[in-house]
Amino acid sequence: HLSMLLEEYDLSLPMMKNLTFVFEWRQLAEPLLEGAKTWTQTRDFKVGAAAAEKGLQAKYPVVLVPGIVSTGLESWSTSPEYRQYFRKRLWGTTTMIRAVLTERDKWMAALMLDPETGLDPPGAKVRAAQGLDAASTFIPGYWIWAKVIENLACINYDTNNLELAAYDWRLSYYNLEVRDGYFSRLPVCLQSLVPLSPWGQSRSVFFSKREGRKVVLVGLKWVEAEGFGDGGPTWVEDHIESFVNVAGPLLPKAMTAFLSGEMKDTVEVNPAGSYVLEKFFSRKDRARLFRSWAGG
C-alpha cells in the first residue's frame, strides 16, 4: 500500500528503497494467523483425558437414553417400493437428505404412523437403529452423543459397561412397549452390563437427554408397577445408582409444532434455508408428519 501511495503522489524516497517492513508485516499477520490456528485444533477427548489424568476411572455401568429425533430410524420394509432403502437410515445420515430431496412423498409415507393405531402404516416398517452408533451423529459433522462416548472411553468405558438404549421416538410410550417391548428390555439392558463391571457394582447410571428423561422415568415406573414390570417398590433403589438428566423437559411444549408445523429450529432458520425448507418440506407437510408422531 505504501508503494502505491508513493507512485500516486509522485513521491520519491530513495532511502526507503530497500525497506521491506518485515517486522510490521509480522505484527499484522501474527494475530490473524493465531486465530486461524484454532480452526485446525480439536477438543476431542479433552474432557475425558483431563478426567483420566486426575485418576477418575469407570465405576458404574452407564446407559445412555437419547432424546427425540436423536435416534436414527432404519427401514426394514420389504415392500417393492421401499426395498432400495432396506436397512438404510430414513432418519439421520445423508440417506435421509437424499430421500427428502428425491422421493419426499415416499419418505414421508414411510415415517408417518397410522392415524388409527399409532403403529406402522400398511407396507412400511421402520425401526430404531441399535448400538452406540444409533445416536452418535445425526449427519456428518453434526454430532449428538459422539463426544460423550469418546470422553467416557478415556476413563475406560467401552461396550462392556456402556450402552445406548435407542428407541423409536415417534411412538407413544404405550406403543413402545406394545410393538418393541422397550420397557421390558430396558431393565435387561441395565442388568446385562453389571456382570462385566470391573468394580463388581450391582447398580447402573442412567444418562438421558431431553425427551429421554421422560422415557427413563416412565420406564422406571413401569418396572416397579404390579402387573407390568413387577419389579417391586425397591427395584429402582436396588438397581439405579444415579440419574443424569441433560436438558430434560418438565412440561410439554409441543403444541406449537402440532398446530403450525413450526418449531424454534425452523422459525430461526436463515432466509435461504427457510426457502429450501419450505420448498421441499412445507409447514403443511411438517404439521401432517408431526401430528402422526404420538411420541413427539
Exposed/middle/buried for residue 85 (C-beta within 10 Å: 0-12, 13-18, 19+): buried
pLDDT of residue 210: 83
What's the grid cell of residue 120?
406402522
Question: Which residue ranges make up each domain of the chain?
Answer: 2-35, 46-292
pLDDT of residue 40: 52
Close Cβ partners of 176 (under 8 Å, ≥ 6 residues apart): 167, 168, 182, 183, 215, 295
Instruction: Give the end-to-end CA distance of the chain in Å, rounded to a whole number.
Output: 60
Cβ–Cβ < 8 Å for 223, 229: yes
What's the grid cell of residue 137?
451423529
pLDDT of residue 175: 94
Look up residue 229 and give its DSSP letter.
T
Closest CA to 236 of 255, 253, 217: 217
pLDDT per residue as tens, the chain (296 positions): 555 555 555 555 555 555 555 565 566 666 666 655 555 556 688 888 999 999 999 989 999 999 888 899 999 999 999 999 999 999 988 888 888 888 988 999 999 999 889 999 998 999 999 999 999 988 888 888 999 999 999 999 999 999 999 999 999 999 999 999 999 999 988 888 887 776 666 788 999 988 888 899 999 999 999 999 999 999 999 999 999 988 877 666 555 555 554 555 555 555 655 666 677 777 788 888 888 888 75
DSSP 120-187: PPTT--EEE--SGGGSSEEETTEESSHHHHHHHHTTT--TTTEEE----TTS-HHHHHHHH-HHHHHH
pLDDT of residue 45: 85
Closest CA to 231 of 202, 179, 188, 174: 188
pLDDT of residue 234: 93
Exposed/middle/buried for residue 212 (C-beta within 10 Å: 0-12, 13-18, 19+): buried
Cβ–Cβ < 8 Å for 71, 61: no
pLDDT of residue 73: 94
How many angstroms separate the CA atoms of 50 and 54, rounded?
A: 7
pLDDT of residue 193: 85
pLDDT of residue 270: 54
Could you give phi then psi for residue 107, rounded to 5 degrees? -65, -45
Close Cβ partners of 17 (under 8 Å, ≥ 6 residues apart): none
